[in-house]
Amino acid sequence: MARNLYILAGVLLLFAVISFIMAFTAGRMQPALPANGTLWKTTALFLTVGGLLVALGGVMTALFEQVDRRTEERRLRHRGGRGSSLRNR
């Protein structure tokens, strides 16, 4: 699941970069585009913050999945070690 969040964060940050570029070039390229630079900068800011929050969620998800996986491995190793010592007696 963390991989999906990383992809979403990358897409949001890509759109943020495009919005930031549009803030500086919108009026010059095509006059029909919304040329309000403040609107594009605000959009870029919200997309950047959203992308960073989603990336943080991806990192936290990956960490918790790793903790769960290691806990399960430790539990199985502990159970297997104790069971083999009982069989040896």
pLDDT in tens, 36-83: 778 888 999 999 999 999 999 999 999 999 999 999 999 999 988 665
Q: Report the 10 Å Cβ neighbour count for 19.
A: 20
- pLDDT grade for 25, boundaries at 50, 70 and 90: confident
Assess contact for 12 and 54: CB atoms under 8 A. Answer: yes
Q: Tell me which of 2 and 28 has the higher pLDDT.
A: 2
* Coil vs helix vs strand at 24: helix
Which range among 10-14, 32-36, 78-82 shows the weakest confidence by mean pLDDT?
A: 32-36
